[in-house]
Amino acid sequence: MKKIVLCGGGTAGHVYPALAVAEKLKEYEIHFIGSDGIEKEILKAYPNIVYHQISAVKLERKLTLKNLLIPIKLFRSIRQAKKVLKEVCPNVIFSKGGFVSVPVAIAGKVLKIPVISHESDLSFGLANKIILRFCTKMCTTFPETAQGNVKCICTGQPIRENVFNGKILDLNFDKNKPTVLILGGSLGAKFLNDLAFDNIEKLTKNFNILHICGKKNYQKIQHENYHLTHYAENIADYYKTADIVISRAGSGVINELLALEKPMLLVPLSRKCSRGDQIENAKLFEKKGYAICLEEENCNIEEIIENLQKISKNKQNFIKNMKKTAKNSAVTKIVEILSEF
């Protein structure tokens, strides 16, 4: 039996695409290298995958003395990764990015184990910029990302099969109103949460609201045509129930929504808190006619409601544009690449 090591973490967006690939690796013994983060919690639901924990090394984007310790921490993490890889002896490593993947990719290169990585966003994150030096191939979600680099190949974004198997939630909603899902990724989004919490009356006047707020942001709120939860293990059911989705613009979630043909109102994470990758993703989706993008600095409840109404009125045009895209062929392409090793 072939063996494969998956790695990635920090957010669910670095984990679920790797698990989408794992679903199709029926003839492999599967291992996962991660940190003591959200990936460890998610992997508890996958007893067929052996979990190995190492230390994650994160580079702070601001000037801080903590960055002086990075070489020492990285050396320790590489040593930990090498120990795991020597024990497992995998045929190939599949990296989904995040800082925990960097020492694994470096260790894989040192041990002459092929490393296949995947970049979800339109532009490379810092971790994958480093990993690109050590990997055999870099798969990308967007064709624009792969241009000009012989290591890169556009595969699309791998999506789990269960995302396509949702059932409409049995809620006491007004059947004459469209249903809007508000979500902000696995860790929640304070800006979107506060916008929803402070304007429930205005939002529910014209829409049913499903709201996934993240565990740290949960409040006990009950209101007609409003349903709140901190986390949805049955996220496919929420997707299925929604007519429109308000979301941040992480590549994982927006590509799931694209595959499900769900029109989006995207409020990407601002440049103050990120490298601007979500803004790039959102503007590309807006250009292709899948979504409307509102930047956080210029966003208020009036603009949210106005654009929700615009999307609702032109919903079929958004869906028509989405139908032109390939549906979840990424997993097949990535598995074919992995099977070469």
Q: What's the CATH code of the domain at 80?
A: 3.40.50.2000
Same domain, yes or no: 216 and 98: no
Task: Tell me the residue range of the domain where 53 lies.
Answer: 2-156+328-338
Q: Is residue 208 classed exposed, middle or buried when 0-12, 13-18 and 19+ CB atoms within 10 A define those classes? A: buried
Count: domains in the chain? 2
Cβ–Cβ < 8 Å for 279, 295: yes
Same domain, yes or no: 173 and 93: no
Same domain, yes or no: 128 and 259: no
Same domain, yes or no: 214 and 268: yes
The predicted-structure confidence for 321-337, as pLDDT tens digits, reads as follows 998 776 668 999 999 99
Same domain, yes or no: 18 and 78: yes
Same domain, yes or no: 193 and 223: yes
pTM (2 d.p.): 0.88
Same domain, yes or no: 318 and 188: yes
Same domain, yes or no: 231 and 246: yes
Same domain, yes or no: 90 and 203: no
**Cα–Cα distance measured from residue 142 to residue 119, given in angstroms and rounded to the nearest whole number:** 9
Q: Is 90 exceeded by the pLDDT of residue 245?
A: yes
Question: CA dist 302 to 55, 81, 107, 220, 306, Å?
Answer: 45, 50, 51, 25, 6
Same domain, yes or no: 71 and 180: no
**Mean pLDDT along residues 187-213:** 90
Same domain, yes or no: 138 and 239: no
Q: Could you tell me the pLDDT band of residue 273, with boundaries at 50, 70 and 90?
A: low
